[in-house]
């Protein structure tokens, strides 16, 4: 797209004249400095019109002339060059790594709704949480759910100083240099940019609301258009390189390029819609936030709607179910939010998701393909899972060649046979699955499938425990189980040991260097160098990552062990309740069943895991290697839930804590006999308030509940003193 067919001879001539400016021995003339600032402002404004509003006002020739003049002036006067100059969009140094960035405010994930009834159930939960304080219809705002990569931009005094990926919500990766190459992202907030697109049904923004805060985290989504995705894949195919599966993967891969010039060549786009940490911010609603972002120069999606009630929300979702295929980019649903920030604060969050927002997901896309074969995978717990090998087919932009069949009972129920034509579906990141068999397409040549009587990986006779649908290999030394357990242990959500992929783990198992996770911590560089595709630097990096993993929180280690039925949430609950691996290993079924998110079956599985001599020995070796076996603030000898200064009392934490994480704080309460809860009542013993405490702090003061600082809370635990109001 050309910016415009207009020419501006006077501007071009002035640019040519100023390009001849010679540097002065006493520094830049004030007129030169003013000209540099004027050029930057005009170029930034031109970028906003071109990349954000899609409404260019100057020609490409005039734009190029301004860029040439600015580069010439910055070369003549290096002291005038700044990191946020338009000339610095590309040309950053080659990256060697992505440094971790801890988000000031966590980037939460959203719960999902898959129909109007689930939206109504969500609204009922909201009303129960708000109680009698809200009787009138709740105002919502609907936004398209962009299928891209979440990012957070930090601006200080209006200047972009940091850019990070979402990561695990707490810690992301520093990709600032690559984000700078996306021309729709302002490197400096423009407080007097044009008003929002007329298609946005948002409030008008007054000049006072243009004030840029001293610090703000602007959050949104980086994505890739369909046309750019097709262009990149065509180029990669021509070079014989591996193509991307879908636009989202292409956007993520492009943003994590080591060379920012590669990112710049990919033409990524972005929309912004959320705020993290913010100093001196006075936003009253989500619609006001979006309108202000647009006024500041940020690209915001024009397809938003403020809805007076849930019925209007449902109508918006239904409308975009049909319209989504007309967009030049992918969406996978609609994000519905309570519009009022005051109500958002009152609702708060549960676990890792806000109560005040939900993602309305459209039904999974379904296509037909053929089952070419059925093979069996062996998981880390010995479960045998049949997998359909399919004729490759595109589903929602992803080429699918495998789909899970779950278990023998599922195959029998659906009567899936080798050679069948089947309907498969994929929703979001869920593994594709076979929905049904197209029986009318059968020819009679289809072959029924039988689960093997022996493990396909180690030839051990398989078993199917009574009352279970899953067939298992009972051999704990089965090579596929060993490898699967190791893959789980090093995975991102477990111990997060980067560099140890399936290929390297497979080799380490084959040569006998690694049989269980504890062996990883005994690896030496000279042992790793003979592995395929293993160089000196990679070996050092992997060993460094293994060393760093020793400091992961206790909850991550519990999850990494791969105990049957214990997921991430269960691992967090166990870590908070028991505080150490030693106490968890001694817990009885009855004690475990009292822990939130731990049922009887899970409790029995945990007891069985720690009863194994093999597992106990492995844990001893992990401890000897220096892997953290207790919560960071664990008090030696203090058992969870025992008598203490908080015995029988409830404590509520609010705001951003500085001395410890929320998980560590709640574990500390348990260790001193108390219970941590998420809501304030007259029976609450005390509220511990960190920075930017919100509605819970206000409610505590209204009810007369004592409010403590973190220091006062710790002092109370150390001595017999009572809590006092602050």
pLDDT digits (tens, 9 = 90+) for 182-201: 988 998 887 654 444 444 55
Banded model confidence at residue 457, pLDDT cuts 50, 70, 90 = very high
Domain with residue 655: its CATH number is: 3.40.50.10190
Token digits for 605? 């599985």
Q: Are 58 and 75 in a shared domain?
A: yes
pLDDT score for 134: 64
Q: Are 207 and 320 in a shared domain?
A: yes
DSSP three-state, residue 471 = coil
Q: Which of 47, 331, 277 is nearest to 153 (CA)?
A: 277
Banded model confidence at residue 281, pLDDT cuts 50, 70, 90 = confident
Q: Would the pLDDT of 207 be above 60? A: no
Give me the phi and psi of 88, to 5 degrees please. -95, 10
Banded model confidence at residue 460, pLDDT cuts 50, 70, 90 = very high
Q: Are 318 and 384 in a shared domain?
A: no
Average pLDDT over residues 208-220: 83
Lowest mean pLDDT among 54-58, 308-312, 539-543: 54-58
Please give the radius of gyration of the chain, using alpha carbons only, rounded to the nearest integer: 29
Q: Are 236 and 151 in a shared domain?
A: yes
Q: Are 246 and 394 in a shared domain?
A: no
Q: Are 546 and 615 in a shared domain?
A: no
pLDDT score for 663: 65
Q: Which domain holds residue 712?
A: 650-718
pLDDT score for 501: 86
Q: Are 26 and 83 in a shared domain?
A: yes
Q: Are 603 and 684 in a shared domain?
A: no
Q: Show which of 88, 103, 127 is a domain's final residue.
A: 88
Of the residues 14, 145, 337, 692, only one is catalytic, namely 145
With a CB cutoff of 8 Å and minimum separation 6, the contacts of 384 are 376, 377, 378, 451, 452, 455, 456, 462, 470, 471, 472, 473
324 is annotated as an active-site residue: no
Residue 242 lies in a domain: yes
- pLDDT tens, residue by residue, 564-583: 888 877 888 888 888 899 99
Q: Are 241 and 347 in a shared domain?
A: yes
Residue 104 lies in a domain: no
DSSP three-state, residue 630 = strand
Domain with residue 517: its CATH number is: 1.10.150.20
Q: Are 340 and 392 in a shared domain?
A: no
Residue 453 lies in a domain: no
Banded model confidence at residue 307, pLDDT cuts 50, 70, 90 = very high
Residue 291 lies in a domain: yes
Q: How far apart are CA 669 and CA 652, in angstroms?
A: 10
Count up the domains in the chain and report the number: 6
Token digits for 184? 């729709």
Q: Are 537 and 559 in a shared domain?
A: no
pLDDT score for 638: 44
Residue 465 lies in a domain: no
């Amino acid at each position: 797209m050309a910016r415009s067919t207009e020419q501006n001879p006077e501007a071009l001539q002035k640019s040519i004249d100023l390009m001849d400016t010679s540097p002065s021995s006493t520094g830049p003339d004030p007129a030169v400095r003013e000209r540099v600032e004027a050029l930057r402002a005009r170029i930034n404004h031109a970028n906003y019109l071109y990349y954000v509003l899609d409404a260019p006002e100057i020609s490409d020739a005039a734009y190029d002339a301004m860029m040439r003049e600015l580069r010439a002036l910055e070369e003549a006067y290096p002291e005038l060059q700044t990191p946020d100059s338009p000339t610095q969009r590309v040309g950053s140094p080659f990256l060697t790594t992505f440094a971790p960035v801890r988000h000031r405010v966590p980037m939460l994930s959203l719960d999902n709704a898959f129909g109007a009834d689930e939206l109504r159930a969500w609204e009922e939960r909201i009303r129960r949480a708000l109680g009698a304080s809200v009787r009138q219809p709740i105002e919502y705002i609907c936004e398209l759910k962009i299928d891209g990569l979440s990012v957070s931009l930090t601006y200080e005094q209006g200047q972009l100083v940091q850019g990070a990926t979402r990561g695990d919500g707490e810690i992301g990766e520093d990709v600032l240099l690559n984000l700078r190459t996306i021309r729709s992202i302002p490197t400096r907030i423009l407080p007097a940019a044009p008003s929002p697109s007329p298609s946005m049904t948002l409030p008008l923004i007054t000049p006072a609301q243009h004030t840029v805060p001293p610090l703000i985290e602007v959050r949104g989504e980086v994505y890739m258009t369909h046309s750019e995705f097709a262009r990149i894949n065509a180029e990669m195919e021509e070079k014989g390189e591996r193509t991307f599966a879908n636009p989202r993967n292409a956007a993520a891969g492009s943003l994590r390029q080591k060379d920012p010039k590669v990112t710049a060549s990919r033409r990524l786009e972005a929309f912004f819609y959320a705020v993290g940490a913010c100093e001196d911010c006075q936003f009253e609603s989500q619609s006001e936030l979006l309108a202000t972002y647009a006024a500041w120069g940020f690209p915001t999606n024009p397809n938003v709607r403020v809805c007076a009630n849930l019925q209007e929300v449902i109508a918006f979702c239904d409308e975009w179910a049909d319209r989504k295929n007309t967009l030049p980019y992918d969406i996978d649903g609609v994000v519905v939010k309570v519009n009022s920030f005051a109500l958002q604060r009152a609702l708060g969050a549960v676990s890792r998701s806000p109560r005040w927002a939900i993602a309305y997901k459209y039904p999974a896309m379904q296509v037909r393909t053929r089952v070419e074969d059925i093979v069996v995978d062996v998981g880390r717990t010995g479960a045998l899972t049949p997998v359909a090998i399919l004729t490759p087919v595109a589903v929602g932009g992803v080429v699918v060649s495998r789909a899970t069949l779950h278990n023998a009972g599922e195959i029998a129920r659906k009567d899936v046979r080798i050679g069948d034509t089947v309907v498969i579906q994929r929703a979001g990141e869920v593994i594709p699955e076979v929905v049904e068999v197209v029986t009318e397409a059968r020819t009679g040549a289809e072959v029924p499938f039988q689960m093997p009587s022996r493990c396909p990986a180690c030839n051990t006779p398989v078993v199917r425990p009574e009352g279970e649908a899953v067939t298992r290999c009972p051999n704990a030394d089965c090579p596929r189980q060993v490898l699967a357990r190791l893959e789980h242990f090093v995975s991102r959500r477990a111990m997060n040991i980067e560099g140890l992929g399936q290929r390297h783990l497979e080799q380490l198992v084959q040569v006998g260097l690694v049989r269980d996770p504890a062996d990883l911590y005994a690896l030496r560089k000279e042992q790793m160098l003979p592995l395929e595709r293993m160089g000196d630097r990679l070996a050092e990096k992997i060993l460094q990552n293994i060393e760093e993993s020793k400091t992961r929180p206790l909850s991550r280690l519990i999850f990494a062990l791969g105990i049957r039925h214990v997921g991430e949430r269960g691992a967090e609950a166990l870590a908070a309740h028991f505080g150490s691996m030693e106490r968890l290993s001694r817990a009885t079924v009855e004690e475990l069943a009292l822990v939130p998110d731990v049922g009887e079956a899970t409790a029995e599985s945990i007891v069985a895991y720690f009863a194994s001599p093999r597992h106990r020995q492995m844990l001893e070796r992990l401890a000897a290697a220096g892997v953290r076996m207790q919560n960071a603030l664990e008090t030696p000898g203090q058992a969870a839930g025992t008598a203490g200064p908080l015995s029988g009392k409830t404590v509520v934490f609010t705001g951003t804590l500085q001395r410890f994480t929320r998980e560590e704080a709640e574990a500390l309460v348990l260790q001193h006999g108390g219970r941590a809860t998420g809501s304030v009542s007259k029976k609450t013993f005390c509220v511990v308030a960190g920075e930017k405490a919100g509605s819970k702090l206000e409610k505590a003061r209204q009810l007369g509940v004592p409010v403590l600082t973190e220091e006062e809370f710790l002092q109370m635990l150390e001595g017999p003193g009572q809590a006092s109001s602050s």
